[in-house]
């Protein structure tokens, strides 16, 4: 089941991050996720199975730039490769397809998972070494929304 994030979900989402640290996230990113969930989450969703959150991801909107950004995609490591990330991405694509004011979707990720986003249709725009933390490079990717319509 996919539903909107609630502040009562915060411990479960933080736990997802911890389960993926340090393999996919730097230790320092927990503070960033806390801040995001408290202050910046505009459209954040969770994926539940048997009343347990096993995935989450969001969208932030930049209307002046006609841009949406995928934010904080996190999947329980026990469910990696099982299609949960794709389901969450498709749900957000469907949500974005209803917004006529968005032309582009971006995602800022790392060298560790950028191939997933490439499979979803994003193209690599730039790389910045050690952006998130040492050993965690920024891979900024972009797609036109019309490619998902």
The domains located in the chain, with CATH, are 2-107 (3.40.630.30)
- Residue 149's pLDDT is 60
pLDDT in tens, 46-72: 999 999 999 999 999 999 999 999 999
The pTM score is 0.93
**10-22 confidence digits (pLDDT tens):** 999 999 999 999 9
Q: How many CB atoms lie within 10 A of CB 130?
A: 11
Average pLDDT of the residues in 111-134: 96
Instruction: Report percent pLDDT > 70 for the chain.
Output: 99
Q: What is the pLDDT of residues 64-106, one digit of tens each?
A: 999 999 999 999 999 999 999 999 999 999 999 988 899 999 9
**How far apart, in Å, do the first and last CA atoms of the chain sit?**
23
Backbone angles phi, psi at 137, to 5 degrees: -80, 150
């Amino acid at each position: 089941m996919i539903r909107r994030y609630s502040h009562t979900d915060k411990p479960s989402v933080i736990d997802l991050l911890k389960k993926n640290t340090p393999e996919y996230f730097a230790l320092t990113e927990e503070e960033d996720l806390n801040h995001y969930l408290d202050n910046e989450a505009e459209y954040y969703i969770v994926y539940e199975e048997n009343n347990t959150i096993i995935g989450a991801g969001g969208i932030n909107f930049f209307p002046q730039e006609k841009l949406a950004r995928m934010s904080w995609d996190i999947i329980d490591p026990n469910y990696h490769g099982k299609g949960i990330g794709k389901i969450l991405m498709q749900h957000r694509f469907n949500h974005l397809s209803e917004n006529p004011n968005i032309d582009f979707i971006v995602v800022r990720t790392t060298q560790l998972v950028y191939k997933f986003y490439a499979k979803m249709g994003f193209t690599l725009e730039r790389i910045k070494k050690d952006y998130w933390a040492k050993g965690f490079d920024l891979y900024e990717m972009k797609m036109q929304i019309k490619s998902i319509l």
